[in-house]
Structure 1
Amino acid sequence: MGTIFIVFAVIILFYINALTNSLCIQKEIPAERQPKVFRFINVMITILLVSSYVELLYT
């Protein structure tokens, strides 16, 4: 089950990054701010995925 969750998490991260890129293009976010946007969103999604995994482990 852990392997399936990890594969699923990687797919989600790639998809979220594609959506973030679309957001940056649509909202015309300057290139110097884009790394901060990507970092913030990736950290938040990673926290969400880790907490989901921990919840699955202990239920």
Structure 2
Amino acid sequence: MISIFIVFAIFILFYVNKMTSSLCIQKEIPEERQHKVFRTINVLVTILLISSYLEILYT
């Protein structure tokens, strides 16, 4: 079960980063701010994935 979830999580993180990159290009966010946007989104998505894994694990 954990291996399936890890593959799913990697796919989700990759796709979210791809969408974040498109957002930065579309909104013309400066290079110096892009790393903050990526870091914030990646941290929030990681928290979401960990909480969903724990919910699945203990349900």
TM superposition score category, shorter chain reference:
over 0.9
**Which residue matches 1:17?**
17
Aligned runs of 1:44-59 on 2, under 5 Å? Answer: 44-59=44-59
Structure holding more helix per residue: 2
Unaligned runs of 5+ residues in structure 2 are none
The runs of at least 4 aligned residues of structure 1 exceeding 2 Å deviation read none
Q: Which 5+ residue runs of structure 1 have no aligned equivalent?
A: none
Percent of aligned positions with the same letter in both sequences?
73
CA RMSD of aligned residues (A): 0.3
TM-score, normalization by structure 1: 0.99
